[in-house]
Amino acid sequence: MSAADPTSRVESLNRMLACYTAPPSITDHDGSGWHLHFRDPEVGFGPTLAGATTAAAAQYLCDRGMHRVGRCAGADCRHAFVDFSRPGRQRYCTHACANRDAVRRYRARAPQEATRVGRS
Ligand SMILES: [Zn+2]
Ligand SMILES: [Zn+2]
């Protein structure tokens, strides 16, 4: 989901819900315990999984905020992420990407010192 603003994200989510989900039903197939499915039982595993993940994403973003999905701010990274952090201000997909970007910014700010540190 690359939509920038909350309204565009909701429009994308609503299109996904219309495409991938059906009215929810409760099931205990295979002795798995009562749980919700968001597709008809005869559609198979793939569509059932698409319905479950779409419904879960919509529920999570409604509960926690539409900003909690994003693209990594890393210079060379194109990964998307879901922000499960407590404050909800995640900018990078992983700590590795955050560290790489911090090093890159440091070297851009102080090129001579970064070179000296790199040689030691
Ligand atoms: Zn199930
Ligand atoms: Zn990244």
Query: In Å, how far are 26, 27, 73, 95, 101 from 61, measured between CA atoms?
Result: 23, 25, 20, 23, 27
Q: Could you read off the pLDDT of 47-99 as tens digits, one per residue? A: 999 999 999 999 999 999 999 999 999 988 999 999 999 999 999 999 999 99
Quick one: which ligand is closest to 101's CA?
A: 2
| Number of the ligand closest to the Cα of 78 | 2
- Which sign, positive or negative, has the C-alpha torsion 99, 86, 64, 54? positive
CA distance 89 to 83: 8
What pLDDT, on a 0 to 100 scale, did the predictor assign at position 41? Answer: 84
Angle, helices 111-119 vs 95-109, to 10°: value is 120
Looking at every residue in the chain, the average pLDDT score rounds to: 90
29 CA → ligand 1 middle, Å: 6
pLDDT value, residue 55: 96
Ligand that comes closest to the CA of residue 38: 1
Give the β-pairing of 35-37 and 80-82.
unpaired
